Amino acid sequence: MSILEWIKQLPSGVLGMVAGVFIYLTLSCLVRVKEKWWCRVLCLAGCWIASFTVIFIGDLVNLSCSIALFLFIIWITCKGSFLKKVTLGLILSSSIFAFNALYDNCLGFLAHHCGMDEFYGRMYTVGRLIFAVFLYLVVRFRRPEKEFELSPSLWRVMLVLTLTPLAVLASAILLRSPYGNIASTVIADGVLFLVVMLSFAGLLRALTVLESQQRLERENTLVLMNQKYYENMELQQFEIRRLRHDMTNHLQALLALPEQQREEYVKGMLDNPALAQTLSWCGDPTVNAVLTAKDSLMRQKKVRFSAKLDIKGELPFQKADVCAIFANALDNAVEACMELEESLREVSLEARLGKGILAVNIKNACKGEVGKEKAENTKVKGSIWLPRTTKKDVENHGFGLASIQKTVKKYGGNMEIKREAQSFNLFLYLPVEK
């Protein structure tokens, strides 16, 4: 018995559920479904309904109601912006309904014309299952990142582009008489439905290209930000060396001043941040400079900071990358602590270089309530979910963890994020060539 014959003998209800599961998996490749069980069940039910909605030419109810229902289900069960869910929902549902229209009208008519009604009836559910599997495979290997997000203007452009083939599909179905002679237009209708399906495939491909372009732009922005950050630190260190070199001149000027002006002059010198001591936390000068700057920042912000480092010499990484890891991680930790009362603000850092691995662990207190926030433990290997920034200026912030992730991937390392009720833990390690 062949696989196709075995599939045909399965109950149509089982095949229908399997087809719905593949449509659900296809949707999950494009947008993240909420974790609540009822959201997943409702989304699966919506995918099953979409897969087996009968679309006849001239039917004013099925197409319009099914699209509206599918979009509503995506809106309440999936994550992401409203424009993203509407656009992806229209692309996916319209592709499914275009196939259903082709299958129910053109292929059904051809099967009847050729005397194959019985075969068409037996293969009706199987055909929809084959399409669901095919759609999943295409989207699975040609999709953009699940967590991708375009700017609102780009989503609006994609939505307008989506409406064009959708309007063609709707006009071919809704504006036709159900009593018309399909025999005279069956070939044209078949070609039209295929073109509509290919149009939606092209739109999905366009989303992938746009997502790749935006990802490259973000990566370039991260590189420039890290480089600028490091250059500013280098400039600060140069200022430190310059002011210390000029200390003799300051002392001479101090001796020449009247006694009542000396105290004011000394206070002015001490207020200069460049005269702050550069602490020696470890053997890497870049890490020392970053931790000195962040230690000063945390003192100003009333954040308790403890650091335990075992790094004997200079790290074999680009200085801008070392700066990106430690500076961004500590900036994120301070940002989270600022939402707490002063007594609860705490950041701890541990770093160790040994046995060919640099391991870094940063833990900070954060806002949360026991029992209301479940723990999240995410291992970073490739592109993964990252927590959203808590700053109001979302478009210009939120790059910290993304920058760390990019640096970790660059050197073949791993990163783990653990979110607990009242703490946030970032652990990463990078292999070090001996």
Question: Above 90 in pLDDT, residue 364?
Answer: yes
Instruction: Compute the mean pLDDT over every residue in the chain, rounded to the nearest whole number.
Output: 79
* Residue 162 near residue 94 (C-beta atoms within 8 A): yes
* Residue 104 near residue 128 (C-beta atoms within 8 A): no
pLDDT one-digit tens code per residue, 15-71 = 778 889 999 999 998 888 998 999 999 999 999 999 888 888 887 788 889 999 999
**Confidence (pLDDT) at 372:** 37
* Residue 321 near residue 227 (C-beta atoms within 8 A): no
**In CATH, what number does 277-431 get?**
3.30.565.10
Backbone angles phi, psi at 184, to 5 degrees: -80, -15
CA distance 52 to 128: 7
Cα dihedral 281, 287, 288, 290 sign: negative
Q: Find residue 348's DSSP bridge partners.
A: 306, 363
* Residue 429 near residue 358 (C-beta atoms within 8 A): yes
> Which of the four pLDDT bands, split at 50, 70 and 90, describes residue 249?
low
Q: Could you tell me how many helices (H) and strands (E) the chain has, helices first? A: 14, 6
Question: Above 70 in pLDDT, residue 308?
Answer: yes
Please give the DSSP secondary-structure letter assigned to residue 184: G
Report which listed range, 98-112, 371-385, 417-431, is most confident: 417-431
CA distance 147 to 150: 10
Report which listed range, 144-148, 316-320, 367-371, is most confident: 316-320
Nearest CA-CA partner of 402 in 329, 317, 350: 329
Question: Above 50 in pLDDT, residue 289?
Answer: yes
The average pLDDT across 111-139 equals 84
**Confidence (pLDDT) at 374:** 39
> Which of the four pLDDT bands, split at 50, 70 and 90, describes residue 370?
very low
**Confidence (pLDDT) at 230:** 67
Please give the DSSP secondary-structure letter assigned to residue 104: I
CA distance 256 to 265: 11
3-state secondary structure of 273: helix
Residues found in the chain: 434
Backbone angles phi, psi at 72, to 5 degrees: -65, -40
CA distance 159 to 149: 14
Name the segment(s) of the chain with CATH classification 3.30.565.10: 277-431
The average pLDDT across 360-381 equals 61
